[in-house]
Amino acid sequence: MNSTRFGPIVDGTATRFRLYAPDTASVALEIEGAAPLPMDKGADGFFAASVAGLAPGTRYRFRIGEGEGAVAVPDPASRGQADDADGWSLVPAPAKAPSCGFSRPWHEAIIAEVHVGTATPEGTFKALIDRLDHYRDAGFTVIELMPVADFPGRRNWGYDGVLLYAPDTAYGTPDDLRALIDAAHEHGLGVMLDVVYNHFGPSGNYLPLYAKSFFREDIHTPWGPAIDLENETVRAFFTENAAYWLAEFGFDGLRFDAVHALATEGAETFLREIAAACRAVRPEAWLVLENHDNISGWMTREDHLFTAQWNDDWHHAFHVIGSGERTGYYAPYARDAVASAGRALSEGFVFQGEPYPEAGGHPRGTSSTSLAPDAFVSFVQNHDHIGNRPLGDRLAATLTPERLAFLRFVLMLSPAIPLLFQGEEALLPTPFPFFCDFEGELAEAVRKGRRSEFADFFDAHGESFPDPLSEATFFSAKLKAEDMRTPQARAELDAFHRLAEQRQRLVWPLTASPYRASELTRTGDALRVAWHYDAGTLVMVLNAGKEPVLIDPQTSIPGMPAGASIGGVIHEAEGQLTLDPFAAALWSLARA
């Protein structure tokens, strides 16, 4: 018997519909072209009805209440919509297992973060299939899709999803998404999906109308009332969703957005349940957290919970070093950016229980010294740190080539998992500003909110603000194939491909073995980091300062060293090196 609680279930010749609606006395099932069918309410708050003979693609919805006050709503667990998020839901075809399996160890992940709507001019799952050769040939092994759950309107980053089981129709059909994942696997690429369980979007969410118990009106978040994770049924809605993407589409892993924003009691139980639900489907699924609280225990391998965490600490420290920006959330890392970078490289988290100025001086984080580097996903840029800038500009538009090359070298050849945002492999300057497609008062509220958030910037610089509601803002973020074919882009792609090959040759053979410990030494603004594995040691030296530094790499470890470098690295007497500003080198020292 199918244990799924949410969404339609096609069983033989009948389709069974269920809706969790404890706060209404009456729900009717509407099938397009047929009379409404009253649904039976159970003691658990679910309404249910079965209908025989429905073809896949049949349109349906639920009518809440009776008479003139009745409201027609989509299925919150719709598997696909006919049009937008507030319209008719579609009866799915019988579920079938993904057609193409895939297996790659996590330490071999090189991730491209991709927004389906802007990764190609067409902005669809089908069009992205035609770009898979590019990602494979560049050296990526994984693509990570930003959220695809159905959102209101025609364009969105994806974090305003309201129908979490339905791929958005702007991108294509559920079968189009399955075809993309199968094609990626055939190209040797794993596929991850970004999922959002800390809030629903501000438009098109009808749950408060008939299931108020989904939310806690007394606990507020930046998006409104908190999702009530003390409620077991509410938790099940999301845990089933996570397992659904893995089981029915064949995703290899999930990235869980901002779990620090899970604001009610039950959040820890929820995270444990969702990890268990995912691993029941795919024991080796890649499960990655975004968690500003820096709780290392979630990635303890023995507990088999989560695989890794996005490491904003790494990003913030190296952003300060590369760009010189020191305000806002970069300020805590700018006090000593070199020390912050060293700790991020050698231990993962920069804040491991120390007072955090941005949180009123409260302690942030737990010790991460025992975690292997691949418990962290590092990045020079991602969608947030580009798109939440006033103009959505990339570092490639402002930093010197030397600094960009330095940052990319450190990212790609340190043993943490590297992630790049679409187009970064060619250092494209294409902006990625915030965009959405709301209407009426909500649209104007978003417009005013973005303007006020960056008021100081525009007052100081006199820049024009990219209107987040304008279609032109959305189109400005689209990647074009011809942009990848310019001489500069080709040169940067070649450089990235060489780094990917060096990572495969120098880093993977060691990170495939158990991790032991790290060592960190500092000479002026230069760092030496050694990561010890059973198979050998990786040693990286880098100069994050403005003056050359003489440093001893201390590479006298048994075995034959192999290495790579960027920038001015001069070999001196007795094995010492002079590193020019923004120069770095790596040695892979396999044990004899």
| Catalytic-role residue among 168, 228, 257, 425 | 257
β-bridge mates for residue 585, sequence order: 541, 565
Stretch (H or E) spanning 166 = strand 163-167
Cα–Cα dist 500/496, whole Å: 6
Based on the residue annotation, tell me whether 302 is a catalytic residue of this protein: no
Q: Which two tokens stand for residue 369?
A: 């010294």
What residue numbers does the annotated binding site for substrate cover? 255-260, 312-316, 383-388
Cα–Cα dist 431/477, whole Å: 5
Cα–Cα dist 381/422, whole Å: 10
Angle at 224 between CA 223 and CA 230, to 5 degrees: 105
- Amino acid found at 397: A
- Could you tell me if 525 and 542 are in contact, meaning their C-beta atoms sit under 8 angstroms apart? no
Strand residue runs (E) in 394-514: 417-421
User: Residue 303 carries which DSSP code?
Assistant: G
Residue with tokens 């940052």: 407
| Catalytic-role residue among 248, 273, 290, 374 | 290
Q: The dihedral of CA 89, 91, 94, 99: what is its sign?
A: negative
Q: Which two tokens stand for residue 336?
A: 């000593």
CB neighbour list of residue 231: distance below 8 Å, 6 or more residues apart = 213, 214, 266
CB neighbour list of residue 251: distance below 8 Å, 6 or more residues apart = 181, 191, 192, 193, 245
Based on the residue annotation, tell me whether 86 is a catalytic residue of this protein: no
Residue with tokens 């189009």: 176
User: What three-state secondary structure class fits 152?
Assistant: coil
CA distances (Å), origin 587, targets 34, 134, 149, 344, 549: 70, 29, 43, 19, 18
Q: 415-450 burial string, b = 16+ CB within 10 Å, else e?
A: bbbbbbbbbbbbbbebbbbbbbbbeeeebeebbeeb
CA distances (Å), origin 71, targets 28, 86, 151, 200, 307: 10, 11, 20, 20, 43
Active site residue ranges: 257, 290
